[in-house]
Amino acid sequence: MENYHITHDDDRWVLREEGDKRALIEAATKEDIIAETRDYMKLRTASVKIHTLDGQIEEERTYPRDQDPRATKG
C-alpha cells in the first residue's frame, strides 16, 4: 500500500507521496486538497495522512474505503 501525506507548505496545502519532495496536488485550502485527493485516489490503494498546520498527524484515511481496517468515519 502506498503512503501519502497532506501537509501545509508556505501558503498552500500539498499532497505528496511519502519520501518524495515533489507535490502531486496543490490547493489553497485544506478542504480543497482533501476533495482533490479523494478524486486522485479513486484508482489507488493507499493510506493518506492528513496533517495540521503545525505538522502533527490529525487523521489517516485509507483508499478505497473498503480497505480501511477500522470502521472510522475518516
The CB density around residue 28, as the number of other CB atoms within 10 Å, is: 10
In tens, the pLDDT along 18-72 reads: 999 999 999 999 999 999 999 999 999 999 999 999 999 999 999 986 655 555 5
Residue 13 CA: distances (Å) to CA of 8, 18, 25, 65, 67: 4, 15, 8, 23, 25
**1 has pLDDT over 80:** yes
Report the pLDDT averaged over residues 6-14.
Answer: 96
| pTM across the whole model | 0.86
Please give the sequence-ordered ranges of beta strands (E in DSSP) within 1-74, or none if there are none: 2-9, 12-17, 25-27, 46-51, 57-63
- pLDDT of amino acid 5: 98
